[in-house]
Amino acid sequence: MSTTPATAPDYATEFAGRTALVTGAASGIGLATARRLGAGGANVVIADFNVEGAETAAAELNAEGVKAAAVALDVTSPESVEAAVRFTVDTFGGLDLAVNNAGIGGPSAPTGAYDIEAYDRVIRTNLDGVFYSLRHELPVIEAAGRGAIVNVASILGSTGFAGSPAYVAAKHGVVGLTKTAAAEYASKNIRINAVGPGFIDTPLLRGMDSTAYDGLVALHPAGRLGRSEEVAELIVFLLSDRASFVHGSYHLVDGAYTAV
């Protein structure tokens, strides 16, 4: 057996010549992922409902030497998703990689008292939005002959969480949708996987009451919340050729939240 070490990938160029569409990329995990893809040489489209935020993020990445563009996106609208994919192709000549990250939290209430309109809104955004994204991304990526997609689910794609029936249902659905699409497109040289972030340290969470924040931290045996950049690294690995035999998997990044 050969003992010659494998050639290490050049992380600064591993996505050179490829174009990525990242939804919900004006901030948080989406922006961290877009930045990391750009650092690897990808052209990046930042798609978000927050158009001003998307434009600001794209300007920041361009200033860092990344080829980035912003587009308005409402993932609850199939037409808006189709337009964002078309914008990506028109701007950079194709679509090779996609990160379906856009989502909302929704209100907290027990299932028997959950507002029906709020439930529908969360499902439309967090589950239907991923389906619409896949529906319009996959034909374009298939035509290119190869590609990779990562859907952002949650730790709540594998567990329950009192007061969040819509969010939990949607994220479980994302995991199932990921596995189904992966089985359909593996033979077409398209890899589709999902990640399940734990609770991520964001300005919104840092604004919580200190007792509530500390209680949230205590749910993670690692003793802290995650960082957007840590989730982005896993997403980028799954998009890369380093994960060439990874299909239909659901990867947790949660500080051991689901381990206990």
Positions marked active-site: 167
Q: And the tokens for 248?
A: 């239909």
Rounded CA gap, 102 and 1, in Å? 46
Which residues on adjacent β-strands are paired with residue 150?
Answer: 99, 193
Q: Which residues contact 7 (CB under 8 A, 6 or more apart)?
A: none
Sign of CA dihedral 186, 154, 227, 42: positive
Q: And the tokens for 12?
A: 């600064």
In order, the DSSP letters of 164-184 are -HHHHHHHHHHHHHHHHHHHH
Query: Which residue is associated with the tokens 């596995």?
Result: 179
Query: Which residue is associated with the tokens 């990506």?
Result: 88
* Residue 79: how many other CB atoms lie within 10 Å: 10
Rounded CA gap, 93 and 124, in Å? 29
Q: Which residues contact 209 (CB under 8 A, 6 or more apart)?
A: none
Which residues on adjacent β-strands are paired with residue 31?
Answer: none
β-bridge pairing 68-72 and 43-48: parallel
